[in-house]
Amino acid sequence: FRNQMMKSQKIELANHMSAAISHEVRNPLTAALGFLQLATEDISIQGKTKGYIETAINELHEAERVIKDYFTFAQPSLNEVNPFCVNEELKKVIKSLHPLANMNSVEVVTVINTECFIIGDRGLFRQCLLNIIKNSIEAMPNGGKLTVHSSNTKDEIRIRISDSGIGMSVEQVQRLGEPYYSTKGNKGTGLGLMVSLSIIRALKGNFHINSRIGLGTEFVVAFPSYFSDNLSPKSIHEVASG
């Protein structure tokens, strides 16, 4: 129980910090980028100095990307709440991860329902799935198979992400979602799953994880489905090798 308390306090703290970072760091960051951009257009700045400025721009872009990946979720007031097609959003996420999958020689198999709708902010949904699927690919540095499967019942839409990667121990699984918990050294932030799990809560979903060391991991995420009479669930199967 005490561990649980500490974990939720840590999550709360990280959420507050996220909000602060996204609000208070993003604007000056954008301003700094703008001024550096102006400097690159100044023809009197050449040679080494121009190179320094370009490097600074690239680094600031990287910082912007991190903020976008991890901290945008902390602005619920800006979020839209609309029904959206799960398949469409899932496909976008998978597409954006193809370069990473290719780099790790990961085969991507998708089995996705065509017409499943859930209600909420589609941007948050994408961010949630992106962080989970990215972890799956990163768990297979020497290749493997990633399967993204979605199915629906009348009440819920269920998304299963499985990998044939390194897997996790029971203790590791318990720590998932704890801010800054990462086994990736300086390549990880340990914030991805914290964000994903808070989005799952925000979208009124639930999740569970099956994992075995050396065999792989399966993430099952379920969301209440939004259904209208005009929509009849169909299912397509597609296999994409990447």
For the record, the structure tokens of 163 come out as 């990998």
CB of 5 to ligand ADP, least distance (A): 20
Considering only CA atoms, give the Rg of the chain. 20
Binding mask 137-176 for ligand ADP (x = CB under 6 A): --x-----------------------x-xxxx---x---x
136 contacts ligand ADP (rule: CB under 6 A): yes
- Residue from the set 114, 174, 182, 210 that interacts with ligand ADP by CB under 6 A: 182
| Residue owning tokens 């203790």 | 171
Both tokens of 76, joined, read 């619920």
To ligand ADP, the closest distance from the beta carbon of 216 in angstroms equals 7
Helices (H), 1-46: 2-24, 26-40
Q: Does 190 bind ligand ADP (CB under 6 A)?
A: yes
The one of ligand ADP, Mg ion, none whose footprint includes residue 217, by CB under 5 to 8 A per kind, is ligand ADP
Determine if 108 is a binding residue for ligand ADP (CB under 6 A). Answer: no
Residues 134 and 70: beta-carbon distance below 8 Å: no
User: Can you tell me which of 144, 165, 177, 192 binds Mg ion, judged by CB under 5 A?
Assistant: 192
Where does residue 150 rank: exposed (0-12), middle (13-18), buried (19+ CB within 10 A)? buried
Q: Which residue is nearest to Mg ion (CB)?
A: 192
Euclidean distance between CA atoms 226 and 120, whole angstroms: 10
